[in-house]
Structure 1
Amino acid sequence: MAVTAGLQGPRRQPETMMSSTLLDTVNAFVEERGGGEGHFRTPMAGVHIIRSFAQRMPMRQMYRPSLCVVVQGAKQIMFGEDSLDYGAMECLVVSMELPGIGRIVQASPTEPFLGLTIEFDIAMVREVLQQISTPPEPSTSGGPCVFVGKVDAGLADSIVRLVRLAGTPDAVAVLYPSIMREISYWLLAGPHGAEFCKLALPETHAERVAKAIYLLRDNYNQPVRVEQLADTAGMSPSSFHQHFKALTAMTPLQYQKQLRLLEARRLMVADAANVGEAAYRVGYESASQFSREYARMFGVAPKRDVMNYKALLAYGSR
């Protein structure tokens, strides 16, 4: 005799099942490494997990092209003048290197924040795009190079297997590339594929601006003129300035300043550089000007910020 739907109870949707599976998988990964909260490394470069039992103060950092997934809780990100919020089973996709401010806005001891960051290999994304029989048409909008989207069942399944793979380091070299290709495919085939594909296509405004960003990154401690950046991007200065701000939500000079100050923080934390040395190494001629701009960006003086940041790193990295 057939069993009725009423006796079976409501069926769980694939997205709901994958959400539960992903949550269980990430929690298991953390517990196998001692539990608690913090940043948890994986054997895969560019892939890490964070768990937090409480909301956190805003944290400035450099975002590489990456997929940032919230499994549980919620987070807020600011790039320049733009603010983005995303919660459980949503993801943030960043398609070029950007300085930003991240803040965990929903977390508790009973329902901690759980998130993953997965960095992209642009060459791999380009290969996957070329193999899709009906590739997405790149968006012609000049909007920001970041977007928030849903983590659907296909993408969630790939992420689950990626986290499980982290538990078998010997298999990473063989299986990691294929799972990353799957993740790239689901993003390209999804509702935001038109935005995501701009990451890999040549001669788009995003790709041209990215060339200028690489120049800024490699010469952050040197004076760089907008005309030089525009020439690198193959654009007129006015067009370059317009597209740079549309994509990054900041001007080229604002971008360089944030890049310099983030690198200065790294030097003081990782290399134990003093304030004057860090200022000089990132391109400042005046230590007092450096301290003023540092305090304006991070909210406190350099020495105090370094102490706070070291404490934050001690809380988490393992």
Structure 2
Amino acid sequence: MDQLAEALLRYTEKQPGKSPYMTPILAILRSDHPNPPAHMISRPAMCIVAQGAKWATFGDQKLEYRAGQALVVGVETPSIGRVVEASPGTPCLVLAFELDLAIIRSVAEGLDAPPQLTGEPGCGVFVTDFQGPLADCALRLVRLLDTPQAIPTLYPVIMREICYWLLTGPHGGDIARLTLINSPSQRVISAVHSLRGRFRDTVRIEELAAVAQLSPSAFHRQFKALTSLTPLQYQKQLRLLEARRLMVSRGVNVETACFEVGYESPSQFSREYARMFGAPPKRDVTRTQIRIQDERAGAQASI
């Protein structure tokens, strides 16, 4: 972990602009101070803390992960993230990369002793220790950035190795459930994708349960276990995140955004928006736009 932190620190100190630093194979995040909560849609990924600490909230589940630990997200779901331990002398350093579920499936199928699965889907988000062989893989990923010509050959090999260690580790069963075709988790994930594509519409729980090949009560329970949200909470957060994006990035007014994402009542929209983001739509959009402008100005000044 010390070597990984040193490699990330050296990389960020050579880069223009501000975090996050996006590369062809991974993202590097550096925070010199704790930051306010950030709402987002998390996709299948691994976020490794080499230094400092973060927490992430998925529904009513709050996970803290610090140096030597990683957050593993196996299902697309709304979340809130925050850096909680950072300073200019000891910045929070995070390495993040997407998880290719097809690669995980391929590695799992080649194991002599695949992880044991139960009939219930596991949790789609968890924290795991990231030391030993996994830390070595992460360090090699960062070092690949110095030899971009080697990335096409070596990156897939390192990713397969990471998948191997995840599948043979303490959360191997949870990882396997998320990738194996026709597993309970995969069927629920299919319903998640259906809801994701139709979040503006009125979607009945029976329709989603049919996609997952489950009874409505079993589907509701397994959806909550996988995403830490009920289907209604999941849909509501998607709607509000999209409304915020429309207002901040496209200048759409509150009423238009409300109807665009599927709400019928502007007053209900405003109440639920304020409950999620901590301020009514207009005030939140204004402060978000000011923060973005300040960050852009700071990035330009540092180039």
Could you say which residue in structure 2 is the equivalent of 1:248? 227
State how far apart, in whole Å, the 2-side matches of 1:97 and 1:223 are.
20
Number of residues paired by the alignment? 297
> In the alignment, is residue 39 of structure 1 matched against residue 20 of structure 2?
yes
Question: CA deviation digits over 1:215-256, x for unaligned, max 9?
Answer: 011111111000000001110111101111122222101100
Displacement of 1:304: 2.6
Matching residue of 2:43 = 64
Match of 2:58 among 79, 90, 113: 79
Q: Which runs of 5+ in 2 are unaligned?
A: none
Q: How does 1:269-288 map to 2 (within 5 A)?
A: 269-288=248-267
Note the residue ranges of structure 1 that are not aligned, 5 or more in a row.
Answer: 1-18
For the 8 Å contact 1:66–1:118, the answer to whether it is kept is yes
TM-score norm. by structure 2 comes to 0.91
Contact 1:70–1:86 (CA under 8 A) maintained in structure 2: yes
Which 10-residue stretch deviates more, 148-157 or 302-311?
302-311
Deviation at 1:268, TM superposition (A): 2.1
Q: Is the contact between residue 139 and residue 195 of structure 1 (CA under 8 Å) also seen in structure 2?
A: no
Q: Structure 1-normalised TM-score?
A: 0.87
Change in CA separation of 1:179 and 1:307 when aligned onto 2, cut-off 3 Å: farther
Which of 209, 218, 239 pairs up with 2:188? 209
Matches within 5 A, 1:152-167: 152-167=131-146
Taking a change above 3 Å as real, the CA distance of residues 293 and 206 of structure 1, as seen in their structure-2 partners, is same
CA contact (8 A) 2:77 2:227 kept: yes
Name which of 237, 245, 258 aligns with 1:258: 237
Partner secondary structure for residue 20 of structure 2: strand
1:293 aligns with 2:235: no
- 1:297 counterpart SS class: helix
- One-letter amino acid matched to 2:92: F
Distance in 2 separating the partners of 1:32 and 1:235:
52
- 1:51 matched to 2:30: yes
Residues 40, 50 of structure 1: 8 Å contact kept: yes
Question: 1:43, 1:169 within 8 Å by CA — same for their partners in 2?
Answer: no
> Whole-Å Cα distance in 1 between the matches of residues 292 and 162 of structure 2?
29
Q: Give yes or no for contact 1:72–1:113 (8 Å, CA) kept in 2.
A: yes
Are the aligned partners of 1:29 and 1:167 in contact in 2 as well (CA < 8 Å)?
no
1:12 alignment partner in structure 2: none
| Structure 1 pair 179–306 and aligned structure 2 pair: CA distance change class (3 A) | farther
Match of 1:6 in 2: none
C-alpha separation in 2, matches of 1:161 and 1:271: 40
Letter paired with 1:133: D
Question: Structure 1 pair 311/157, CA: closer, same or farther in 2 (3 Å)?
Answer: farther
- Let me know the Cα RMSD of the aligned residues: 2.0
Partner of 1:232: 211
Three-state SS of the structure 2 residue aligned to 1:250 is coil
Q: Retained in 2: the 8 A contact 1:71–1:88?
A: yes
Distance 1:126 1:304 in 2: 45
Return the offset for 1:175.
2.9
SS of the aligned residue for 1:195 comes to: helix
Report the Cα offset of residue 202 of structure 1: 2.1
Q: Does 1:28 align with 2:7?
A: no
Work out the percentage of aligned pairs sharing the same amino acid: 48
1:106 alignment partner, one of 85, 88, 98 = 85
- Structure 1 position 277, deviation (Å): 2.3
